[in-house]
Amino acid sequence: MIDGFLKGVRMLLRGFAFWAKRPQVMLLGLIPAAIVFVLVVAALIGLGLGLPSVTDWLTPFADDWAEPWPGIVRGALGAVILAAAVVLAAVTFTAVTLAVGDPFYEAIWSAVETELGGEVPEHGPGFWRAVGDSLGLIGMGAVIAIGVGLVGLVPLVGAVVGPVLGVVLSGRLLAGELGSRAFAARGLHGESRRRMLRGRRSELFGFGAATQLCFMVPLGAVIAMPAAVAGSTMLARAAIDAAAAAAAAAAAAGGE
């Protein structure tokens, strides 16, 4: 499990290394990421400024409590809301950036596929497919954010467990979505895709957690996005090529 997790982290590092091979293509991936990043940060700043009013509105029962309990309860609730918002923001950033920047990220995907060799589809899944996947990703991100918020309300451990759970779950979700282009371009969806990734869960967790942590660094989301697309394509291709090799070996064994 640990080996797989570290292998997933290395996949992201390989994505960063792709800058040295195709810097012009990777540079294009910064454009949509930068635009969406500014919008997401503006939304988070707005939430942060309005957070005291939100927590006051959610806790009218604490108005008559003796100090310092109202401040403690409202501060803890604000931290939980902010943690859930950050999780949702990371997922929304990825979803919207992939949809808005589909032509740019298709160029990165195609360059990585060509670099890896083998049979490469001529076109990716297309813009509308990317939009549909992005909406689904935002929906799942909202569910995870709600879960993180609820866990964060657990006394004592919630403030620590909630954010960690958010990084792990949202990272796994991001890894699956970022690598979906390689599968969709080959007509692999649903159960076929899940079957190919079944033995690589720890890799997905490692890749996703590393990507999510990069996204949480100031400007890290912009810088890491092209590398995340490249690295996730490499991870997906590893799964696809392994499945193809296993199918060929089974066919050869059956023909003997």
Q: Read off the pLDDT of residues 88-130 as tens digits, 9 standing for 90 and up.
A: 888 888 888 888 888 888 899 889 998 988 777 766 555 556 6
First-last CA distance in the chain: 35
Q: What is the mean pLDDT of the chain?
A: 82
How high is the pLDDT of residue 132?
67
How high is the pLDDT of residue 6?
92
Q: Kindly provide the b/e burial profile for residues 167-189, where b requires at least 16 CB atoms within 10 angstroms of the residue's own CB.
A: bebbbbbbbbbbbbbbbbbbebe
Stretch 239-246: mean pLDDT, rounded? 85
Classify 187 in phi/psi space as left (phi over 0), alpha (psi -120 to 50) or beta. left
What is the CB neighbour count within 10 angstroms for residue 254? 7
**CA 81-83-84 angle, 5° bins:** 65
How high is the pLDDT of residue 10?
93
Q: What is the pTM of this model?
A: 0.80
Lowest mean pLDDT of 62-66, 101-105, 199-203, 226-230, name the range: 62-66
Q: How confident is the model at residue 7 (pLDDT cuts 50, 70, 90)?
A: very high
Lowest mean pLDDT of 70-74, 129-133, 187-191, 201-205, name the range: 129-133
* Alpha carbon distance 255, 204 (integer Å): 34
Q: Read off the pLDDT of residues 140-182 as tens digits, 9 standing for 90 and up.
A: 777 777 777 777 777 767 767 777 777 777 777 778 778 888 8
188: phi then psi, degrees, rounded to nearest 5: -100, 115
Domain locations in the chain as residue ranges: 2-241
How high is the pLDDT of residue 129?
63
